[in-house]
């Protein structure tokens, strides 16, 4: 049992283990914000936007309840050879492939497009920088948001760095786009629907089996992706969820986002937008940068953030984690002492992630999850770069007052 679990478990007079009840105040606040946000977005933007806000809430709840950490999965695999988290990600991508494929092939009337970006230096180096940063910042893009919503104030420091790094990355974006690359590579466009699907499936299976082989060699056994409902039916709303359930919910949620919005789930483009708006308010001419001269980015810069799908979903994700915190009954860790070394690590890690995400076409969600789900080679390149960066990031964690295994 971990220390955090020990702090939220009590013994009743009969000696039975009991978890604290639902935090009704936090739960009601989260539900009220969802209701108010839905009405506001529906009346001022569109009910499609309002629906995406609620879907993001489900994604945030799933991330919190399943403890779905992309950062921790990479770290645990590197430090101890345990690949349970990475295997869960391969299942996540497989389910997403099954759901994305018919949508990308146009079986519905909704026009959609996956995330298929150029394969080259910018993705590899950007993901490498991101990998270092996510270990120093103790969380990736989605992790930072659900940490904040889940009551961990350290996520705010990471987010501040994330926004700053994203703006800097957007300033350098044009230069990075001129670095060597072979252009976008879509498996289904290159090898056909069946061939592309089977190639992606083969890569997923290879990574899945490789983690089993390495884990058994290093530990003598392999952890199972079993369905373990520790609190019976109450686990559905109280948590924690098995990783496999988290994979299912996140994959289905991403497919629904693709269907409704026309593009997969993303996170970090909103950070660049927020930073650019702040920079403009400070008198910085971000419109001179190539990144903000594209029609889509220019339109977002000149509009309310509530019209930006990614911004709305980021807010919804944080509120979903807040709702999960209330339902779980866990203590709010928002007010906590943070050592100066950790503050520096969180800020620097956030800056590195923000910069890396801009030049790598996204983060663990937009580039890694969204790329592989869209049958794009750049998603696999992102994974390699982020894993290599994590090797360095794990070694830097003690400098930032984090333990390697924490």
φ, ψ for residue 186, nearest 5 deg: -100, 125
Is 47 a member of any domain? yes
Q: Do residues 187 and 205 lie in contact, with contact meaning Cβ atoms separated by under 8 Å?
A: no
- Please give the structure tokens belonging to residue 275: 């930073």
User: Whole-model pTM?
Assistant: 0.93
- For 67, other C-beta atoms within 10 Å of its C-beta total 16
Is 10 a member of any domain? no
- Please give the structure tokens belonging to residue 276: 């650019």
Calpha distance 131→121 (Å, rounded): 15
Is 314 a member of any domain? yes
DSSP symbol at 178 = T
Task: pLDDT tens for the chain, 406 residues: list them.
Answer: 333 333 334 444 444 445 668 999 999 999 999 999 999 999 999 999 999 999 999 999 999 999 998 999 999 999 999 999 999 999 999 999 999 999 999 998 889 999 999 999 999 999 999 999 999 999 999 999 999 999 888 999 999 999 999 999 999 999 999 999 999 999 999 999 999 999 999 999 999 999 999 999 999 999 988 777 666 778 888 889 999 999 999 999 999 999 999 999 999 999 999 999 999 999 999 999 999 999 999 999 999 999 999 999 999 999 999 999 999 988 776 667 889 999 999 999 999 999 999 999 999 999 999 999 999 999 999 999 999 999 999 999 999 988 655 6
Calpha distance 266→239 (Å, rounded): 25
Q: Give the structural domain span for 83.
A: 21-400
Per the listing, tokens 């930072």 go with: 144
> 285 burial class (0-12, 13-18, 19+ CB within 10 angstroms)?
exposed
Best CA proximity match to 315, nearest among 35, 28, 37, 26:
37
Calpha distance 363→370 (Å, rounded): 9
- Please give the structure tokens belonging to residue 67: 């403890």
- Going 291 to 293 to 299 to 303, the CA torsion angle's sign is positive
Is 8 a member of any domain? no
Is 3 a member of any domain? no
Q: Do residues 385 and 127 lie in contact, with contact meaning Cβ atoms separated by under 8 Å?
A: yes
pLDDT at 401: 87
Is 4 a member of any domain? no
Query: What's the number of domains the chain is made of?
Result: 1
């Amino acid at each position: 049992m971990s220390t955090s679990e020990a702090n939220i478990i009590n013994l009743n007079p009969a000696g039975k283990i009991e978890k604290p009840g639902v935090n009704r105040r936090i739960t009601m606040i989260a539900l009220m914000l969802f209701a108010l946000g839905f009405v506001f977005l529906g009346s001022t933007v569109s009910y499609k936007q309002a629906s995406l806000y609620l879907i993001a809430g489900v994604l945030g709840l799933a991330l919190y309840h399943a403890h779905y950490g992309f950062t921790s999965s990479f770290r645990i695999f590197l430090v101890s050879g345990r690949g349970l988290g990475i295997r869960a990600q391969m299942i996540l991508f497989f389910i997403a492939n099954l759901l994305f494929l018919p949508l990308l092939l146009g079986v519905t009337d909704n026009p959609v497009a996956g995330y298929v970006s150029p394969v080259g230096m910018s993705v590899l180096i950007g993901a490498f920088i991101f990998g270092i940063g996510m270990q120093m910042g103790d969380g990736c893009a989605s992790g930072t948001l659900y940490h904040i919503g889940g009551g961990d104030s350290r996520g705010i420091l990471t987010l501040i760095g994330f926004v700053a790094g994203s703006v800097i990355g957007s300033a350098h974006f044009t230069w990075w786009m001129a670095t060597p690359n072979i252009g976008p590579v879509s498996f289904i466009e290159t090898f056909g629907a069946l061939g592309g699907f089977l190639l992606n499936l083969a890569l997923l299976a290879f990574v899945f089996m490789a983690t089993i082989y390495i884990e058994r060699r290093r530990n003598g056994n392999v952890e199972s992706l079993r369905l373990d409902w520790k609190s019976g039916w109450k686990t559905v709303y109280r948590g924690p969820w098995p990783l496999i359930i988290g994979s299912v919910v996140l994959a289905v949620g991403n497919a629904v986002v693709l269907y409704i919005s026309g593009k997969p789930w993303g996170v970090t483009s909103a950070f660049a937008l927020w930073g650019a708006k702040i920079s403009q308010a400070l008198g910085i001419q971000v419109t001179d940068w190539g990144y903000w001269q594209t029609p889509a980015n220019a339109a977002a810069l000149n509009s309310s953030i509530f019209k930006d799908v990614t911004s709305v979903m980021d807010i919804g994700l944080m509120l979903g984690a807040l709702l999960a915190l209330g339902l779980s009954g866990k203590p709010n860790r928002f007010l906590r002492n943070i050592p100066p070394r950790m503050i520096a690590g969180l800020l620097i890690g956030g800056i590195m992630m923000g910069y890396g995400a801009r030049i790598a076409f996204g983060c663990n969600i937009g580039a890694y999850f969204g790329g592989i789900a869209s049958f794009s080679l750049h998603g696999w390149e992102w994974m390699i770069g982020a894993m290599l960066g994590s090797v360095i990031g794990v070694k830097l964690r003690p400098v930032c007052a984090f333990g390697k295994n924490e």
